[in-house]
Amino acid sequence: MAAKATIHKAALNIADMDRNYYAEHNFTLAKHPSENDLRLMVRLSAFVLNANETLVFCKGISQDDEPDLWEKSLDGEIKLWIDLGQPDEKRIKKACGRSDKVIIYTYQDGAASAWWKQAEKSLKRFKNLSVIYLSIDGDIEELAIRAISLQCNISDGELSLIDEENSVIIRQERWKEA
């Protein structure tokens, strides 16, 4: 019998002082059986860092031809493609060809550094690609409860995720800028 996705409800109150974006977002997230709490929370953080009314979660980890998040125009063109982790060059090339802008958020220190060292030269050719390492200060996995309710503050590129008992700081290191 196949394992089923775990459902999480998320209520995010976002105050992004860098972009002057202030909004509340409520949605249901499905955590794929192969996805851990860290990846789920990084996916949520990527949403917060790029939040707007048209950014949506995709099937991501369970779908090869979709990112983790994307923003589409009214005519169906992909404006923003967001992937997590360390995707291979073939996937990145496909993403850069299909969308106006691509952001890869990488987050596991050792694996991310090794991947970047190997991929950096070949990824320079993609003019619409940004690669951002997320440095996480605090136990972000403790925030991954079934009913997530977070105050999300962004200032000077630094994201604070705060619930009733915990707070986590996420700093962005821009390894490649589009």
Residue 1 lies inside a defined structural domain of this protein: no
Percent of the chain with pLDDT over 70: 96
Query: Which residues contact residue 32 at a Cβ distance below 8 angstroms, ignoring those fewer than 6 apart?
Result: 5, 60, 61, 62
Give tens-digit pLDDT for 4-54: 889 999 999 999 999 999 999 999 999 988 899 999 999 999 999 999 999
In this structure, what token pair is assigned to residue 61? 């980890």
Name the token pair of 59.
């099937």
Helix H segments across 33-154? 37-50, 89-98, 109-123
User: What tens digit of pLDDT does each residue of 127-156 get?
Assistant: 999 999 999 999 999 999 999 999 999 999
- Structural domain of residue 11, as residue ranges? 6-176
For residue 171, give the CATH number of its domain. Answer: 3.10.640.10
pTM tops 0.85 = yes
How do residues 88-109 score in pLDDT, each as one tens digit? 999 999 999 999 999 999 999 8
Residue 79 lies in a domain: yes
Is residue 103 situated within a structural domain?
A: yes
Residue found under tokens 């952001």: 103
The tally of domains found in the chain comes to 1
Q: Is residue 90 part of a domain?
A: yes
Q: Is the pLDDT of residue 1 over 60?
A: no
